[in-house]
Amino acid sequence: MSHYAWLMPALPFAAALVGLLVSRHLPGGPAVPAVGGTALALVVALAVLVDVERAPSVVHQTARSWTPIGGVQLAVGTRMDGLAAVTAVMVAVVALLVQVYSTAYMAGDPRYSTYAAEVSLFTSAMLVVVVASDLFELLIGWEVMGLCSYLLIGHYWQTEGARAAAVKAFVTTRVGDTGFLFGIFVLGVGAGSFEIGRVVGHPSAMGHTAVTAAALLLLAGVVGKSAQFPLHVWLPDAMAGPTPISALIHAATMVAAGVYVVARLYPVYLAAPTALTVLGVIACITMLGAALAALVEDDLKRVLAWSTVSQLAYMSAGLAVGGWTAGVYHLLTHAAFKALLFLAAGSVVRSLGTNLMSEMGGLRHRLPTTFVTALVGGAALAGIPPFGGAFSKDGVLEAARERGGALGTAVFVVGLVTVLVTAAYVTRLVLRTFFGAYRGSLDGVSAEAHESPSVMTVPLVVLATASVLLGAPVLPHSYGVARWLDAPLGTRPLHLSVAGGVVTAALAVLGAAAVVVLHRRRPADDPAAVLGRVAVPLANAFYVDAVYDRILVRPVHAIANALRVVDGRGIDSVVTGVGAGTSAFGAVLRRAQNGNVQAYASGLVIVVLAIVVSVSLAVAQ
Amino acid sequence: MHLSIALAVSALLFGVGVYGLLARSNAVAVLMAVELMLNAANLDLVAFDAWWRDTMHAGQVFALFVVVVAAAEVGVGLAIVLAVFRLCETAAIDEVRALADRDPVLSSAAEAEA
């Protein structure tokens, strides 16, 4: 079955084409190809997973030459190992749930058919990244994802904010993608092939400098796509898109792609310890910074966006300290609980019509299913056992502790602090949204606010179940997820200790309890208000956007304006000047065209005489 | 008779023809001026024929050709003059200016639109 892995990206792609071209003529409308294509992709993904897990250590590879014209050889094909098979299932599951959820969430949207086709294309591109056997094939999926994120974030393009957010996401990730492209060049030239199997085969053979350069260049793309510092700025703004898209981008596609590529090319990173150190430092900064920004954010979706940035940093940190299995495991658990949280947020936003938590409150009776599932997602995010997120996060921290050294210690300490902050902001989110009294200005809205239709709540329940079940594989004795994933040689196996688990759980409970106490004291107020003036830099996300605006955006705008003036007044005036000059010269010449035949004849005679005279003079000399 | 006398008369005839062509406004007079120029050329042809004592008398033959062609030309020319006179009710060629670039403002505006 794994020879048919190419069907996974092909089916959603076909669904996207059908949805764009002929969906209006289909019975059932654009939802049929969108849901159907993704569902078929999930079936294929599950079959491939079963096939791959039958022999976990075997790589199922198919490839056919793509450019058989000498020079660089490129191939298209699929390369299925445990990591790819598990990730593909994760992508397909989340994408399918998002498509199902969207049929209700986007009902009545005039551009739903375009939206559904773009989601299918997005899924297809992510699956290309997952199954690709060649670096350039991977790059194609990678870039198509960039395009799809632009289109979907800008879905509400009639609003200024959505347009700006779409451009910001595209440009910011593009900055990193430039490095990614050159990283592929270095890697392919160094290994003599762009085939992933050969690149990861003996990465140290291509020389230390080349490997380090390639790993660092690829890291630029990873940092952009996975929204790590310093290219994290696009993700919170991406909330301008429809909420199911946030679930898709934050859980299954786009941001997961960055971490996935590092995991996929991990032998290259193992050969380049410098790159891993850089990744670890970036992860430490991002992890805590994003969590602190989430602590004071009032927009429900932006809190979740910051938490994605922070959680992705956990994955990066896990990979940076050699905890490959723990990092990938966290990728999977995060996909489940973050998709869950975003879809729950979508349910809340749909019923209230606002993103701001200061206008929510007391929704647990109105939206019971949403409330319960969000609680599960929140607990998984905060790291409360037995939900999946707790074990994967413990795995990352345990790997950091085992690695030791400056980097390991830094990741461990920052990770523990972030556990505390994470629990605090999750608790704040849940309390501000579902508990207390309704604070919105429109009383009627709260009275009318009711639970979402079952098309939307069923995906929530499925994801909540997945969040719980993903905790199960770590139960003794199997560490099943680790066996499925088939970690590369030289990485730390997933290791969990009871003591570590107790410490992180205690920290999480401590953070949550502090917020609960603050909330009990003054239920109507924001628990983050206790931070006072400290909250100002946090609410501005440490002024990173302002700094970028000052040192990048404004100079670039100034240069662009200057160029526009040079182009308009300089280059264009030369072009129009040539035309105007010719016209003016012609206007002078046309005066001779007066219609008097005798005048023409006079000119003829004068010129003939002039020629005769001058020739005579020349002959006479 | 010396050749120069014939050439001088011929040049004089041609000059009168040019003057008539350029200065007269009546179309019939202009046609007559053209005839003068043609006959100036004929005079030259005949004079050189005699001067060179050409046994083939090519100059005289050419002069006959020119006379024939000129007759045909006048036939056509007078027909055109009649047609112009019917159309414009004048035979003054400096008043027949239908081919002039008459309206530069309009035509340049049309260019700008295109």
| Total count of residues recorded for chain B | 114
Residue contact A605–B18, C-beta within 8 A: yes
* Same-domain check for residues A492 and A371: yes
- The reply to whether A574 falls in a domain is yes
Residues A371 and A433 sit within 8 Å (Cβ to Cβ): no
A598 touches B at CB < 8 Å: yes
Confidence class for position A448, pLDDT limits 50, 70, 90: low
**Tokens standing for residue A615:** 């020739």
Q: What is the pLDDT of residue A447?
A: 53
Q: How far off is chain B from A587, nearest CA to CA, in Å?
A: 8
Residue contact A602–B22, C-beta within 8 A: yes
- The reply to whether A220 falls in a domain is no
Confidence class for position A465, pLDDT limits 50, 70, 90: confident
Q: What is the pLDDT of residue B86?
A: 92
Q: How far off is chain A from B101, nearest CA to CA, in Å?
A: 6
Percentage of residues of chain A with pLDDT beyond 70: 95
Domain count, chain A: 3
Partner residue facing A590 (CB), from B25, B98, B104: B104
Q: Is the pLDDT of residue A18 over 90?
A: no
Residues A365 and A446 sit within 8 Å (Cβ to Cβ): no
A583 touches B at CB < 8 Å: yes
Residue contact B99–A595, C-beta within 8 A: yes
Residue contact A593–B111, C-beta within 8 A: no
Substitution target in A596, A604, A608 with the highest count of B β-carbons within 10 Å is: A596
Partner residue facing A598 (CB), from B93, B104, B111: B93
**Tokens standing for residue A145:** 């994802």
Q: Amino acid identity of B110?
A: A
Q: What is the pLDDT of residue A478?
A: 46
C-alpha A602/C-alpha B13 separation (Å) is 18
Q: Amino acid identity of A275?
A: A
Residue A134's SS3 state is strand
* Same-domain check for residues A437 and A509: yes
Which value does ipTM take for this structure? Answer: 0.80
Residue A3, C-beta contacts closer than 8 angstroms, at least 6 positions apart: A60, A62
Residue contact B93–A601, C-beta within 8 A: no
| Total count of residues recorded for chain A | 621
The rounded Cα A568 to chain-centroid distance in angstroms is 38
Mind listing the pLDDT tens digit of every residue in chain B (114 residues)? 788 999 999 999 999 999 999 999 899 999 999 999 999 999 999 999 999 888 889 999 999 999 999 999 999 999 999 999 998 888 888 888 877 776 555 445 555 555
Percentage of residues of chain B with pLDDT beyond 90: 65
Cis peptide before A368 (omega within 30 of 0): no
Q: How far off is chain B from A583, nearest CA to CA, in Å?
A: 9
Q: Enumerate the H helices of A132-252 as residue ranges.
A: 135-153, 160-191, 196-199, 208-225, 234-237, 243-247
* Same-domain check for residues A243 and A330: no
CA–CA distances in Å: residue A230 to residues A159, A180, A216, A327, B59? 27, 15, 14, 21, 100
Residue contact A590–B93, C-beta within 8 A: no
* Same-domain check for residues A481 and A599: no
Residue contact B101–A605, C-beta within 8 A: no
Substitution target in B16, B90, B94 with the highest count of A β-carbons within 10 Å is: B94
Q: What is the average pLDDT score of chain A?
A: 84
Substitution target in B24, B26, B88, B99 with the highest count of A β-carbons within 10 Å is: B99
C-alpha A33/C-alpha A26 separation (Å) is 9
Confidence class for position A477, pLDDT limits 50, 70, 90: very low
Q: What is the pLDDT of residue B64?
A: 95
* Same-domain check for residues A435 and A570: no
Partner residue facing B101 (CB), from A590, A597, A601: A590
* Same-domain check for residues A35 and A9: yes
What would the pLDDT profile of A356-374 be if each residue is shown by its tens digit? 887 777 777 778 888 888 8
Q: Is the pLDDT of residue A10 over 90?
A: no
| Domain termination residue (choose one: A539, A565, A597) | A539
* Same-domain check for residues A260 and A307: no
Q: Is the pLDDT of residue A597 over 70?
A: yes
- Mean pLDDT for A562-584 is 91
Residue contact B22–A605, C-beta within 8 A: yes
**Which uninterrupted H or E stretch holds A110?**
none
Whole-prediction pTM = 0.77
* Same-domain check for residues A482 and A562: no
Q: How far off is chain B from A600, nearest CA to CA, in Å?
A: 9
- Mean pLDDT for A329-340 is 88
* Same-domain check for residues A573 and A531: no
- The reply to whether A106 falls in a domain is yes
What would the pLDDT profile of A61-70 be if each residue is shown by its tens digit? 777 777 666 6
**Tokens standing for residue A525:** 């107020």
Q: Domain range for residue A248?
A: 1-175+227-264
- Mean pLDDT for A124-135 is 90
Residue contact B100–A597, C-beta within 8 A: no
Among residues A607, A578, A572, the alpha carbon closest in space to that of A592 is found at A607
Q: What is the pLDDT of residue B112?
A: 56
A613 touches B at CB < 8 Å: no
What would the pLDDT profile of A522-540 be if each residue is shown by its tens digit? 777 777 777 777 777 777 8
What residue spans define the domains of chain B? 3-113
Q: Quick one: fold of B3-113? A: Helix Hairpins (1.10.287)
> How many interchain CB pairs under 8 A, A with B?
39
Residue A72, C-beta contacts closer than 8 angstroms, at least 6 positions apart: A188, A194
B105 touches A at CB < 8 Å: no
Q: How many Å is the Cα radius of gyration of chain B? A: 20
A588 touches B at CB < 8 Å: no
Residue A555 buriedness (CB in 10 A; 0-12 / 13-18 / 19+): exposed
* Same-domain check for residues A376 and A255: no
Please give the DSSP secondary-structure letter assigned to residue A494. P
**Angle A351-A357-A358 from CA coordinates, rounded to 5°:** 115
Cβ neighbours of A601 in B, within 8 Å: 21-22
Cβ neighbours of B101 in A, within 8 Å: 590-591, 593-595
Question: Which residue is closest to B105 within chain A, CA to CA?
Answer: A587
Partner residue facing B97 (CB), from A594, A602, A605: A594
Residue contact A605–B102, C-beta within 8 A: no
C-alpha A21/C-alpha A11 separation (Å) is 15
B106 touches A at CB < 8 Å: no
- Mean pLDDT for A73-84 is 83
**Tokens standing for residue A92:** 């397909």
Cβ neighbours of B21 in A, within 8 Å: 598, 601
| Domain termination residue (choose one: A510, A539, A568) | A539
Residue contact B104–A587, C-beta within 8 A: yes
Partner residue facing A598 (CB), from B94, B98, B99: B94
Residue contact A593–B101, C-beta within 8 A: yes
C-alpha A165/C-alpha B81 separation (Å) is 79
Burial annotation A24-42 (CB, 10 A radius, 16+ → b, else e):
eeeeebbbbbbbbbbbbbb
* Same-domain check for residues A146 and A54: yes
* Same-domain check for residues A144 and A114: yes
Among residues A171, A177, A204, A173, the alpha carbon closest in space to that of A190 is found at A204
| Domain termination residue (choose one: A539, A569, A592) | A539
